[in-house]
Structure 1
Amino acid sequence: MHRPPTAETEVAGELAALRPGLVARYEAELPGARAAVLTRLWRAFAFEPLPWVTGREDAGDALVVRLADGRRLSGPAADPYRTDAYVDVVRLDGSPYRDPARLTADLAVPHGAGFAGELGHSVASMALSRAGQPESGGQEWPETDWGWERRVVDGHPFHPNCRSRPGFSVAEQFAYGPEHGPRVELVLVPVPAAGCLVSGSWPEGLRAADRLLVPVHPWQAAHVLKRRAEDGERLAAHPLMSLRTLAVPGGPHVKTALSARLTSSVRDISVGSVAASDALSAFGEALAARCDGLLHVTRALGAVTAHSPDLAAVLRESPGAYAGPGERVVPVAALATTRPARSPEWLAAFARLALAVGLRALELGVALEAHGQNLLVVLAPDGEPRRLVYRDLADIRVSPARLAGHGIPVPELPPRVLTDDVGALRRKLFGSLVAGALAGTAGSTARLRTALVDAVRELPHSEDAMALREEPVPVKALTLMRMSPGSGGDLWAELPNPLR
């Protein structure tokens, strides 16, 4: 029987035409990529409130998940904070599955077919990303910010769609994927200034007479704006781990609109986020000033939109601006690739710093979305964590009541970021910082517990700190969100508290 092509075979075919010497290496990476994505999917089956899961049974070193139709899934006991690919097979009523896409398709649950396709792309893109790495490995301490970010080869440590890039050909993944280390030529699209909304100041170097030059990702220019490749001026930059944000050598970071679904979201830039950019930036600076010198927030240098989420850009200062002599600024997502982060003592010191800053900001009224992409750490020359840098304030949550309690004026911010709901504030911080940045760096429940036990001893005796010590850890239900297309917004799960 003829079987339809899969994402794995499609990528193999494109790779054979483009770079035939990598085909064997790509195929060798596929089993590991399947296990990596299956491990992330098994975490969702074990902990997310999926409507077609009716129960879960621990059986020593195994877990059994009961489905609404009477079938059973069985696999290893699930560690919600483990990041290595420890799940290589899951059984559905006794039948073994090693391919997360085929497993999800055969579950035949609502919206499962589309999600299965995304998982297939995630596996194929991860295998491609791994195959494209230099065999000699990278430097221990890269010299550039994009050098650090290209080390995050596998993408999100807990999302099954960690490397899903539907709509990107193999050639485009090599051309634009940060893990491949390309130089990208951003297209400078001229737009009449009178038809643009600008927040902050737009630099003279990106102006031409009565027009503003808007940096556009070349994928966006070709697939969404339908511009020919040879049209327009160019700005050379290097992609960062979000793919749509790029670093200009010696200059700013450029956040571009990218109307493609990567992991969970379509990456455009709303008109509202451009309008709020300058106010959020000033607010971030004021917040950092109240965090005892332990936090920096990168400034937005300017933002522009042609009143369209498909044609907009934000310029931000590089986090490297906050490095002193001999210091390095490292995105938290890349810490797991370094030797210092493998030390329990180093991990405890980092946890103390991150929790002190996160809880201080929360006390003041700001819940940071401090996951491994937004949060960076300033390392001393000997590798010790000194300070934090936070970038991209678009998804923070701000409590007007808490600000007022500290005598801080409430700025004019988008209504969607304002809330006095304590649960919403804690979910935003704890879900990103504990279940994201710290867990992704620790790599297992045991290592995370060791780091947190030491760190919480120094925390203030506040209600927020008590919730961190005592309550389950909130986390975005990433698989449920992908399989609930009409829900809108974030959906949440609860993970066991590693301190209990």
Structure 2
Amino acid sequence: MERVDLMPPPADDDSAHGDSGPGDGALADAYAAVPLLNCLLREVARPVRSEGAHHVHRLPGGDRLLRVRGTRRPIEPEVEVAGVWQRLGHTGLVALVAEEMRRHTGLPNHELPAEMLASRDVVAALLAARARATPPDDLYLRSEQSLLTGHTHHPAPKARGGGPATGWLPYAPEAYARFPITLLGLREDTVVEEGDTSALDGLGTAPPGYRLLPAHPWQLDLAGPELAAAFADGRLVRLGATAFDTWPTAAVRTLYTPEHDLFLKFSLDVRITNDIRRLWRHDLLAVCRTDAAVRSAFRTFDGPPAWLGDRGYRTADFAFEALAVLVRDGFGERLLPGATPLLAAGLVEGFDGSPLDRAIDPATWWTAYLARVVPPALTAFAQHGVVIEAHLQNTLVAVDADGLPVQALYRDAEGVKLLPDVPRRAGWERLVYCLVVNHLMEIAGALAARHPGFDPWPAARRELARHDLPEIPALLTSPTLPAKTNLVLRWTGADGADARYLPLPNPLREGT
């Protein structure tokens, strides 16, 4: 059984847990509180002092004091009332965050507090489902389906659109879901496609005059009213389901088919973290150009880094976004022989079989990790003007039989930016946030939590300094790094792609 199923999310070693674990409700509260507290402490609160295992912060909106245990994964929030510390449950924490954000921004928001509460309820449902389910035998799939906490700095990372659990739970990666995909016949005169979609035709057989169109079952449930007329007049026909299962990855809407070594990305009209996870028309129309630019960059690289390309998409002219499916490369010959790919976010979250749980030398492991994940991202930017979204959920790290990183694989052309479509400064800021703040800081924290006394940042400085980019000296000496403000972004109703950053202390700076 997985470590994360047995106890609350691991905090730093200055906040060790007691011997007895909480019940399911308290466990769900603990998981849901961690990312919400991370947002509040990073974006709004200010540190005041430490009191042993506790860390005290000031909430400027009402000038109140909040204390938590731990830093990387804060737990057990308390507020000071008349000189006495009073514990906050998850509902009380949501109420506190809502009050602080109203004061901090001057804006009301009735939607986000409901999402925060719903995110906690989703975690509770996932915990209950996991108790009845069996994790996949395949280590790669186990890493993709490990994310009970998910995004470590988002106020509601596990919200699933507010619908009942019966609608989404059968398709939840965190519940170890696996299921066949629905097959539709799409009348040939309504087909819209770009790029190489030939892999879709191998998933089943379409009748004469139709093309095969796979669909995520949840996608069809959500889009039912929009598609009723097309089923009625024959533009769409139902062809049953695949004879094989697919596995939802951490992205929820992207499925992996091991039998075909293929990834399929679908539209879901559900908000997950910052965005409605629909394959938007403007993104689809740009994806082949963006993917070609990344493929061209990766072809010039020496060594093993790989790009899992988005080959093309197929959809219907009458439901362009609702029925879209994006075809993504599988591992094929891209993966080094004998290597096992693992989701980087899974390494942070923890899963049964993680190489970080082995008796590794952290310095050796970390040096190998940096040598795999840093050069492709920096070289793509410096030599090709390509900004890959190298955050934890878009990076796979392949390890050898000893658990040592030997290869990095990247994915998701939808999140890629190209210069000069975006200014170089904006592209660099995005790269630093994704690669360093969202990614390296989290992996470094997971290593340091397992190996007290280990300092990961000298090796990170050395790896970054090897690269001849004009931005590197400033990166290594700046007092701060850009951290995305997901709580403020969601509270103010900004577009999910409209990243806003605040300064975060830079661990790469010597002496920090």
The TM-score normalised by the length of structure 1 is 0.80
CA–CA separation in structure 2 for the residues paired with 1:197 and 1:282: 19
User: Does the 8 Å CA contact 2:183/2:238 hold for their aligned counterparts?
Assistant: no
1:75–1:87 Cα contact (<8 Å) kept: no
Q: Does 1:44 align with 2:39?
A: yes
Instruction: Check if 1:468 corresponds to 2:475.
Output: yes
Matching residue of 1:407:
none
Distance in 2 (alpha carbons) for counterparts of 1:382 and 1:274: 40
Q: Deviations over 1:261-300 (max 9, x none)?
A: 1122111112233233333332222111223223211122
Give the superposition deviation at 1:320: 5.7
Distance in 1 separating the partners of 2:267 and 2:400: 34
288, 301, 305: which one pairs with 2:311?
A: 301
Conservation of the 8 A alpha-carbon contact between 2:35 and 2:149: no
Residue 152 (structure 1) shift: 2.4
Matched with 2:406 is 386
Q: Which of 350, 369, 374 does residue 350 from structure 1 map onto? A: 369
Are 1:176 and 1:182, in contact at CA under 8 Å, matched by a contact in 2?
A: yes
- Residue by residue over 1:464-485, the C-alpha shift from the partner in whole angstroms, topping out at 9 and shown as x without a partner, is 3223312322122111111011
Question: Taking structure 1 as reference, are residues 490 and 305 closer, same or farther at Cα in structure 2, changes over 3 Å only?
Answer: farther
Cα distance in 1, alignment partners of residues 70 and 427 from structure 2 = 27
Aligned identity (percent) is 24
Q: What is the total number of aligned residue pairs between the two structures?
A: 445
Match of 1:450, SS state, is coil
In the alignment, what sits opposite 1:454? 459
Tell me the distance in 2 between the aligned counterparts of 1:320 and 1:339: 23
Give the deviation of 1:63 after TM superposition. 3.2
- The TM-score with structure 2 as length reference comes to 0.78
1:290, 1:149 → 2: CA distance? 29
Select the residue among 244, 249, 252 that pairs with 2:258: 249
Write the mapping of 1:42-121 to structure 2, written as runs, cut at 5 A.
42-48=37-43, 53=44, 56-61=46-51, 62-68=55-61, 70-76=62-68, 79=71, 82=72, 84=73, 86-91=74-79, 93=81, 95-99=86-90, 100-107=93-100, 109=102, 110-121=107-118
- Give the corresponding residue for 1:359: 378
Unaligned 5+ runs, structure 1: 1-25, 401-417
Q: CA RMSD in A?
A: 3.0
Kept in 1, the 8 Å contact 2:40–2:97? The answer is no
Q: Which moved more, 1:175-184 or 1:210-219?
A: 210-219
Seen in structure 2, the aligned counterparts of structure 1 residues 277 and 454 have a Cα distance that, compared at 3 Å, is same
CA contact (8 A) 1:477 1:491 kept: yes
Find the residue that maps to 1:160 and give its secondary structure: coil
Q: Say which SS state the counterpart of residue 413 (structure 2) adopts.
A: coil
CA displacement 1:182-214 (0-9 Å, x = unmatched):
222322233333333211133233654333332
Residue 394 of structure 2 is matched in structure 1 by: 374
* Distance of 1:372 and 1:238 partners within structure 2: 19
Partner AA of 1:72 in structure 2: R
Q: Which digits, 9 at most, give the CA deviation of each residue in 1:309-347, with x for residues without a partner?
A: 212010112236522332111111122325433542213
Change (3 A) 1:198 1:322: same
Q: Distance in 2 between matches of 1:137 and 1:441?
A: 26
CA contact (8 A) 1:237 1:247 kept: yes
1:263 aligned to which of 268, 273, 276: 273
1:124 is aligned to 121
Retained in 1: the 8 A contact 2:35–2:151? no
Relative to 1, partners in 2 of residues 1:486 and 1:475: Cα closer, same or farther, differing over 3 Å? closer
Aligned pair partner of 1:430 in 418, 421, 432: 432
Structure 1 residues 76 and 167 mapped into 2: Cα distance closer, same or farther (>3 Å)? closer
**Mapped partners of 1:92, 1:217: distance in 2:** 48
Code of the residue aligned with 2:258 in structure 1: it is P
Separation of aligned partners in 2, 1:173 and 1:27: 26
CA distance in 2, matches of 1:314, 1:136: 29
How far apart are 1:376 and its partner, in Å?
A: 0.5
Q: Is the partner of 1:330 in helix, strand or coil?
A: strand
Unaligned runs of 5+ residues in structure 2 are 1-20, 232-236
User: Which secondary structure state, in structure 2, belongs to the residue aligned with residue 224 of structure 1?
Assistant: helix
The aligned residue for residue 222 of structure 2 is: 223
Residue type at the aligned position of 2:25: L
Q: 1:330 is matched with which residue?
A: 342
- Aligned equivalents of 2:344, 2:221: Cα separation in 1: 32
**TM-superposed deviation, 1:231:** 4.4
SS at match of 2:27: helix
1:43-82 Cα distance to aligned partner (Å, 9 max, x none) = 222222xxxx5x73422343332334x3424123874xx2
Which residue identity lines up with residue 214 of structure 1 in the other structure?
Answer: L
